[in-house]
Amino acid sequence: MQKISSSAAFADSKPHYEILDGLRGVAALMVIWYHVFEAFATSPMDQQFNHGYMAVDFFFILSGFVVGYAYDDRWKTMKTKDFFKRRLIRLQPMVVMGALLGALTFYIQGCEKWDGSHVSMSMLMLATLLSLFLIPAVPGTGPEVRGNGEMYPLNGPSWSLFFEYIGNILYALFLRRLSTKALTVLVALAAAGLASFAIFNFSGYGHLGVGWTLADNNFLGGFLRVLFSFSMGLLMSRVFKPVKIRGAFWICSLAIAAFLAVPYIGDGGAPWMNGIYDSVCTIIIFPILVYLGASGKVTDKKTTKVCKFLGDISYPLYVVHYPFMYLFYAWIWREGLTFEQSWPMVLVVFFGNIVLAYLCLKLYDEPVRKWLSKKFLAKKQA
């Protein structure tokens, strides 16, 4: 499942889009709730907070918008390798932290696959090494240590960071060179491909919760998700003209929470219905929310602090929470608990991950990025 990350985009002198920072954090919180309720679902169709997986598409749009805003006008003085250095410094430290936490929790869990079979320490070490460098595991091979097909079995959501890197590579080598008209055509074609994938049920469940495995059509779905969303964000950054809106952060936050919490559309007998919902949210609604968020202004200190806090923890929260979800799932399934029976632990998992994310940010991510920036970026770029 983010990106993840709207980037080192704001590292320079350009003003922040503070509301977009806050919205990224809201979406990250919704991802946690989506994963919490995975523990109590029997299929993608009966899961509560059903559409939390679409937060990834929102993250990709944000990332495209912010990267375009930050870098589009800098290519005359910036080399491609410097762009990649910046993105690696922004993204990779938390990738490493997520892999190490994933290895630790897998070891605590007993080095067992979901079917109970034991995994050797050497195979755990190999899986950790692959995760550190974002090399995906092939389903059914030794490094796919959990046995459920994940590209990154030690920290499932890392799959979206893999595609985030793909989006950044496409931007540096190809997308940034496109005219606005050509980029518009690409966005339209990618939207058609993404909608077709969802509506014609290439996922098998009539949804866009794909990209996390190399099995079946998942890689194609993940590529379509980042190609459309990142390109759409980039296009919006080029044509952006703010509109007047009051209370943008709170309006957009409520909208994000509502759209991501909607139950599965239909009973599974007509998966195209849910596919249409996913397509409309990703292709139309999320770009509108990003546009409105970029248009709005924070006018009071309370909202400013909320946006900053949520923006600061959003990427660490997304990266570090899932290793502990594996432990939570194992406990829930072993004891046969319902949500009503386990809600105190749910709150511990939710707030505990927020605290962990903040500690990782302040004690690890920020210091490491500062050191790497000083070491590997030229002074005129730092």
Span 235-250, pLDDT tens digits = 999 999 999 999 999 9
| pLDDT computed for residue 48 by the predictor | 86
Q: What's the average model confidence in pLDDT over 135-146?
A: 97
Number of CB atoms found within 10 A of residue 380's CB? 6
Task: Give the pLDDT confidence of 263-313 residue by residue, as tens digits.
Answer: 999 988 999 999 999 999 999 999 999 999 999 999 899 999 999 999 999
Length of the chain counted residue by residue: 382
| pLDDT computed for residue 10 by the predictor | 39
pLDDT at 9 exceeding the cut of 80 = no
Structural contact between residues 357 and 98, judged by C-beta atoms closer than 8 angstroms: no
Backbone angles phi, psi at 287, to 5 degrees: -60, -35
Which CA distances in Å does 223 have to 194, 200, 214? 9, 17, 11
| pLDDT computed for residue 4 by the predictor | 44
pLDDT at 170 exceeding the cut of 60 = yes
Q: Which residues pair with 308 in a beta bridge?
A: none
Structural contact between residues 281 and 52, judged by C-beta atoms closer than 8 angstroms: no
Confidence of residue 199 (pLDDT cuts 50, 70, 90): very high
Residues 6+ apart with CB under 8 A from 193: 224, 227, 228
Tell how far CA 245 is from the center of its chain: 27
Q: What's the average model confidence in pLDDT over 171-176?
A: 98
**Residue corresponding to tokens 């503070």:** 18
Residues 6+ apart with CB under 8 A from 250: 303
Tell how far CA 337 is from the center of its chain: 28
Confidence of residue 73 (pLDDT cuts 50, 70, 90): very high
Helices (H), the chain: 18-38, 55-71, 80-108, 121-132, 158-173, 180-199, 218-239, 248-261, 272-280, 286-295, 301-320, 322-335, 339-360, 366-376
**Rounded to an integer, what distance in angstroms lies between the CA atom of residue 63 and that of residue 312?**
15
Q: What is the DSSP letter of 123?
A: H
| pLDDT computed for residue 182 by the predictor | 98
Structural contact between residues 158 and 99, judged by C-beta atoms closer than 8 angstroms: yes
- Please state, for a pLDDT cut of 70, what percent of the chain lies above it: 95
Q: What is the pTM of this model?
A: 0.94
**Rounded to an integer, what distance in angstroms lies between the CA atom of residue 218 and that of residue 195?**
15
Structural contact between residues 212 and 218, judged by C-beta atoms closer than 8 angstroms: yes
Evaluate the CA torsion angle 348, 349, 354, 358 in order and state its sign. Answer: positive
pLDDT at 381 exceeding the cut of 60 = no
Structural contact between residues 322 and 152, judged by C-beta atoms closer than 8 angstroms: no
Structural contact between residues 39 and 125, judged by C-beta atoms closer than 8 angstroms: no
Residues 6+ apart with CB under 8 A from 32: 317, 321, 349, 350, 353
**Rounded to an integer, what distance in angstroms lies between the CA atom of residue 143 and that of residue 364?**
27
pLDDT at 379 exceeding the cut of 80 = no
- Please state, for a pLDDT cut of 90, what percent of the chain lies above it: 92
| pLDDT computed for residue 13 by the predictor | 56
Structural contact between residues 55 and 2, judged by C-beta atoms closer than 8 angstroms: yes
Of the candidates 187, 188, 189, the one whose C-alpha atom is nearest the C-alpha of residue 175 is 187
Q: Which residues pair with 150 in a beta bridge?
A: 213
| pLDDT computed for residue 1 by the predictor | 44
**Rounded to an integer, what distance in angstroms lies between the CA atom of residue 25 and that of residue 27?**
5
**Rounded to an integer, what distance in angstroms lies between the CA atom of residue 240 and that of residue 234?**
10
Task: Give the pLDDT confidence of 302-349 residue by residue, as tens digits.
Answer: 999 999 999 999 999 999 999 999 999 999 999 999 999 999 999 999
Evaluate the CA torsion angle 251, 36, 150, 357 in order and state its sign. Answer: positive
Structure tokens at 111: 């080095």
Across 318-327, b (16+ Cβ under 10 Å) vs e yields bbbbbbbbbe
